Structure 1
């Protein structure tokens, strides 16, 4: 199983390393991010524990988490697949970025690369993800990474006493890779003229 994914230029995926603790701490210091962590991440030690949990999940083959890095190897965000059901070939995708990396395509690249890896290397058939309806940036990432919106789960999440609707998306192994459908359509149109 490959441990580093990416193109020769641009963001890359690699397994989490202890040296990523400062980036993890910075990301989860934001209130909206902190409430999504599986345990508090308010110190470097807690950020290190978060990374060790990702490494343990990888070792046990229950989830695979990657740091999305720049060319120098600095963590700009993270992507993961969990909720694996090998019998049905399904997994649940999640992604996040540091505040400094937002709006730069880091999450889209990471999500797309992870989905490609899951479908090719893990042999999964269906990948799912969800985002709160009040998070249009996450919806843009999902769509750009080739995930089709499938519906809304009403009041699925609760944060600080407020319930949120969640839009679910999925990408199938049989779906065209992002960008392929548009290029196929334009080739067809040119060929018909």
Structure 2
């Protein structure tokens, strides 16, 4: 089966809708958007999974099925920085897909002239920490009670990867623009 990074399309709306319905832990990734219908998922793809100077999103695809997202936001050319993020559906987790996708996006960002990529994960999400460290992102610190979901606050561990850091030993993927 083909594992690749590609641009999101409106044809991915059923997969995004299914991911939203089957993975309640992903709801925070969508900023409160309701993606419970194919139409709402299609609208979300059109508005939020864009590819621009300030943000880039790739579908993590297995075969023809989008099973996750990896991207960069807050791309800032003057200082050469960006914020990295990723998510996968539950069935796609634990196979190294997210780490390879993140390492691929980092390599592409460095090739495009960026110098520093940052990310953060809730400290109660050790799987996300593993993705980041496998992709070469080094822990830098703890931001206490940074995020709030519902009435609960969460500490966030920040990681960064510099263009000059060692390259992780992961097979990179081809990317589409």
Same fold per superposition (TM over 0.5): yes
Larger radius of gyration: 1
Q: CA offset at residue 109 of structure 1?
A: 1.3
Ranges of 4+ aligned residues in structure 1 off by more than 6 Å: none
Which residue of the other structure, out of 63, 68, 84, is the alignment partner of 2:75?
84
**Structure with the larger RCO, 1 or 2 (CA within 8 Å, 6+ apart):** 2
Q: Which residue of 1 aligns with 2:135?
A: 145
Q: Which residue of 2 aligns with 1:190?
A: none
- The Cα shift of 1:10 comes to 5.4
Corresponding residue to 1:26 among 7, 10, 18? 18
**How many Å separate the matches in 1 of 2:29 and 2:48?**
15
Q: Write out aligned runs for 1:1-193 (5 A).
A: 11-29=3-21, 30-38=23-31, 39-55=33-49, 57-58=50-51, 60-70=52-62, 72-120=63-111, 122-179=112-169
| Structure number having the greater helix percentage | 1
| CA shift for structure 1 position 179 | 2.6
Q: For 1:62, what is the secondary structure of its paired residue?
A: coil
Query: Which structure 2 residue ranges, 5 or more long, are not aligned?
Result: 171-177
SS at match of 1:36: helix
Contact 2:54/2:76, CA 8 A, preserved across alignment: no
Q: Unpaired runs of 5+ in structure 1?
A: 1-8, 181-193
